[in-house]
Structure 1
Amino acid sequence: MKIILLGYMGSGKTVVGRALSGTIGLPFLDLDEQISAKEEKSISEIFETKGEIYFRKREAEVLQDLMQLPEDFILALGGGTPCYGDNLALLKDQKEVILVYLKTSLQELLKRLSGEREQRPLISHLNSAELLEDFIRKHLFERTYYYNQSDLVISTDGKTSEVIAGEVLEKLN
Structure 2
Amino acid sequence: MKNQVKIVLVGMPGSGKSTLGKEIANKLGFKIYDLDDLIVKREGESIPKIFMDKGEGYFRRLESNVLSDALDRDEAFVLSTGGGAPCYNENMEIINQKGISVFLDVSLEQILERLTKGEVAKRPLFQGLETGEITLKLQDMLSERIDYYEKAKIKLSGDDISAELLISELLTFFRS
Query: TM-score by structure 2 length?
Result: 0.89
Q: Which range moves more in the overlay, 131-140 or 36-45?
A: 36-45
CA distance in 1, matches of 2:136, 2:92: 25
Distance in 2 separating the partners of 1:21 and 1:92: 19
Q: Which runs of at least 4 in structure 1 moved beyond 3 Å after TM superposition?
A: none
Partner residue of 1:169? Answer: 167
What is the RMSD of the two structures over their aligned residues, measured on CA atoms?
Answer: 1.3
In structure 2, the partner of 1:20 is 24
Aligned match of 2:130 in 124, 128, 133? 128
**1:37-52 alignment to 2 at 5 Å?**
37-52=41-56
Indicate the residue corresponding to 2:155 in structure 1.
153
The count of aligned residue pairs is 166
Write the letter of the residue equivalent to 1:47. F
Aligned to 2:126, what secondary structure does the other structure show? coil
Counterparts of 2:53 and 2:106, CA distance in 1? 31
How far off its partner does 1:156 sit? 4.2
Which residue, out of 1, 5, 9, partners 2:13?
9
CA contact (8 A) 1:154 1:164 kept: no
Checking the alignment, whether the CA contact within 8 Å between 2:120 and 2:127 is kept in structure 1 is: yes
TM-score by length of 1: 0.91
2-structure distance, mates of 1:141, 1:39: 30
User: Contact (CA 8 Å) 2:32, 2:77: kept in 1 or not?
Assistant: yes
Q: Is the 8 A contact 2:96 2:153 kept in 1?
A: no
Structure 2 stretches lacking a partner, 5+ long: 172-176
Q: Give 1:19-168 correspondences, 5 Å limit.
A: 19-94=23-98, 97-114=99-116, 115-125=118-128, 127-157=129-159, 159=160, 164-168=162-166
For 2:37, the aligned partner's letter is: E
- Secondary structure of 2:125's counterpart equals coil
More helix by share: 2
